[in-house]
Structure 1
């Protein structure tokens, strides 16, 4: 069924809302890092204070292993089965896992919960979500479709992010500071709410999203390519697959560093309160992210190349990371720089997968391609939280410098990759233009 008119925006909004909460709950450390330390060491002392940072890193490690490494399976399923049904199953898994997380079980159970988050994200939701978004627009509309989707994801992230912050802030009392028991109870309430939201969105998607969706530029008779070794081989042989995987990897590296550690950086290095840090984190990761991801789609359409746009953004992100290191002794200036930095790196997310058609990946292979690309580009989800946590436990405040140096190095390599990818894209476009007149000549002759 081809989704047209207002309904395609309803479908886009629903799957984007699910995509928004999907990346919010497994990454609660992005917004509430210091509160998580208190919950896990004082409300329920499931880990020692000396291991707390690394434990949060281990959470990210297990989520990363069971999301990144099985992204290709999700891509295969998205090409074989109904996107709607996959999204509903994923929502149910993540909803039930959130209820369990809200009970604040032991450390092993929390690891299992994040394994379930990884499975729900990568096998059932991610590729199906990306494929639905791509199907909602023509090739000319891909930039705005993906950036609009990211904007919706940012809206839900902003809403539930501030809601969560408001709940956790009830544990702060003047004169006595943070009450660990109240904080733990509010943490539980926040997770129960998130679990219920997953379930509600799953039900709405099941009711309102068609079981079979035809792409905007497909005819209703087009047969979707299902899973086969041939489709995997085809995608693996495409240079665009590897170039995009590396390009997005370097872009996402900034997200891993910035979204994951700017909050605790502002608390421990710049000296602002935990409440301010959480509020700033929500503003950066959701409000700024929403506006910047919405804008980048239109900016990319104006520039005429999503790949070129990502290259420009990588230059800006790298420069901002350097400036942030240089201004850390000037608190207010550094806070301003962190917000500019966030504007750049969050904006890049808006067009990650809008680049598929630019490097010659067909719609019929979207699932397999996004699965393979995601396997490579999201590998920081596996190791970076563990690595950064070990730096902070071992070196204290100096560990933050290692985090930003790592991001800068990725930025430089990303700029080089963007230049190579852009050259390949232009070569591919020239080749296609050469073929098209030849085909038209043959048709005229007949």
Structure 2
């Protein structure tokens, strides 16, 4: 009987983390995966310029920045199951609006709406539910599986969407009429909307009806929790680590262009370089999570930031020249692994940072507001550097920015690590409200 209970518990936990993985990526299919995979088609069908699409992304970014903070306490108060399922349902309904090929103004409004559904209602509940799944003993494994699994889901669904699009297009793609292209693209939008809706149903039935609170995390939501979290130095150090790691993530957008302009790879080879970098995500995130539970999240975070700093510095120094392929790929794999390892680690830092479980959402709000600011400044900064100094020099400046942020993050992670070590003898207690 005891074995049956253990087996049943294992199955429930497996289904729960699978739901979190699928939902964690599905909610971003329509606003981000769709334009990333089908950008030329989207621009053509909607009659947009790159700048106009960029403005839509900016609308999303501004709404998201405003939504991160209030979304945290919301997640601490209401069950993740309800918030996440409703967010996925609402996001999928936005996809139906998108099939009408709306005007630019309506598209901007749609991206603002998605900023609310994916961030205000979804992001903090996802992180809180993942932390509950891992508990105090396996935070690294939980967040490593979450981000690594999301990478696999994105790759699989993206490949399937491309196959569907090709199926509805004529054999000679270049000969497709505007009507055929629009019809095929509508089917892709419907596919993404359907998957997002299915993820809502999956979450509703897979996650517990009430917010899951492990026995070793007895804290519940309290109105004073936000003030308590603001007073915790580990939360602010974690926010610095996230912003520095996210700069590294955004900087990886440059690797394919770097391979083309610096190493003289052709366009196909350069695309493969970018793909290789992205495929490091599931392996690095999951491996980092497993290792973190064995050796410590703070220690693995520090090591990953050190690796990111070294790799970025080598590229910023102009180390690579045409023909240095093997050395470049070793550096690319190491640097990309460090970036994606950090994505699997930086929310697991909450456990070692002694954030009360009931205050998880509030902490996520603070960390996210600071940590995802590169969504606002990194794109324009990279564009300025690459356009003003075309060729190798511009790329060196881009990676110099990554190296500087990595060093700042490294310093923050070391300070975080010292606080964690000190807490082994004297536990860190959040300051209470007056």
Q: What TM-score comes out, normalization by structure 1 length?
A: 0.82
2:343 matched to 1:340?
Answer: no
Q: Distance in 2 between matches of 1:117 and 1:148?
A: 25
1:225 match: 221
* 1:16-415 aligned within 5 A: 16-28=21-33, 31-32=36-37, 36-37=39-40, 39-40=42-43, 42-47=44-49, 52=50, 54-166=51-163, 181=178, 186-218=184-216, 224-226=220-222, 228=223, 230-258=224-252, 260-266=253-259, 281-285=274-278, 287-303=279-295, 305-325=296-316, 326-327=319-320, 329-330=322-323, 332-333=325-326, 334-335=328-329, 337-392=331-386, 397=391, 399-415=394-410
1:424 match: 419
CA RMSD of aligned residues (A): 3.3
Q: 2:19 is matched with which residue: 14, 17, 36? A: 14
Distance 1:82 1:138, change over 3 A: closer
CA contact (8 A) 1:171 1:179 kept: no
Distance 1:335 1:31, change over 3 A: farther
Q: Distance in 2 between matches of 1:225 and 1:344?
A: 34
Q: Deviations over 1:153-183 (max 9, x none)?
A: 1221120122244456789999997979576
Report the CA distance between 1:275 and its aligned residue: 6.1
Q: Deviations over 1:348-389 (max 9, x none)?
A: 111111111211211111111111111111111223224334
Q: Distance in 1 between matches of 2:410 and 2:364?
A: 21
Q: Deviations over 1:261-304 (max 9, x none)?
A: 3345445665656666556545532x32111111001221232x
Report the CA distance between 1:44 and its aligned residue: 4.2
Distance 1:332 1:166, change over 3 A: farther
Q: Distance in 1 between matches of 2:173 and 2:197?
A: 38
CA contact (8 A) 2:311 2:331 kept: yes
Q: Which runs of 5+ in 1 are unaligned?
A: 435-446
Q: Distance in 1 between matches of 2:86 and 2:172?
A: 47
Distance 1:188 1:315, change over 3 A: farther
Report the CA distance between 1:115 and its aligned residue: 1.9
Q: What TM-score comes out, normalization by structure 2 length?
A: 0.84
CA contact (8 A) 2:246 2:371 kept: yes
Q: Which runs of 5+ in 2 are unaligned?
A: 1-7, 430-434
CA contact (8 A) 2:297 2:348 kept: yes
